[in-house]
């Protein structure tokens, strides 16, 4: 995995509260990648996406259902981002992100 991606991800995480242990997950993904553990990579990436969505919602004061499915969680996070950033308001952008989540 590109060192630049990891460095940028860790720098972003260091600027947040990291309640959902994003740093630990990114390091686990990087380690699994280095070891060629594809199953572990997929599981950790799903965990990372879920954690990022929860972090976005929490930082904006939005309550999260206890047993929320990842599709619904991602949709709520995207809707929240769209209220904040105009470039995310395009339907095509939102749909692409949610499609990415569903594939994962």
Q: 29 near 41, Cβ under 8 Å?
A: yes
Q: pLDDT tens digit string along 37-84?
A: 999 988 888 888 888 888 889 888 899 999 999 888 988 888 888 777
Q: Structural domain boundaries of the chain?
A: 3-103
pLDDT value for 35: 92
pTM of the prediction?
0.69
Q: 16 near 38, Cβ under 8 Å?
A: no
Question: Other C-beta atoms within 10 Å of 37: how many?
Answer: 15
Return the DSSP state at 88: G
């Amino acid at each position: 995995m590109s060192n630049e991606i990891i460095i940028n991800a860790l720098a972003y995480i260091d600027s947040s509260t990291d309640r959902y242990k994003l740093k630990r997950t990114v390091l686990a993904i990087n380690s699994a990648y280095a070891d060629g553990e594809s199953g572990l990579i997929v599981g950790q990436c799903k965990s990372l996406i879920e954690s990022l969505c929860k972090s976005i919602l929490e930082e904006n004061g939005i309550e999260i259902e206890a047993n929320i499915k990842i599709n619904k969680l991602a949709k709520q996070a995207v809707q929240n981002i769209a209220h904040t950033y105009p470039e995310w308001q395009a339907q095509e952008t939102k749909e692409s992100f949610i499609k990415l989540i569903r594939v994962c």
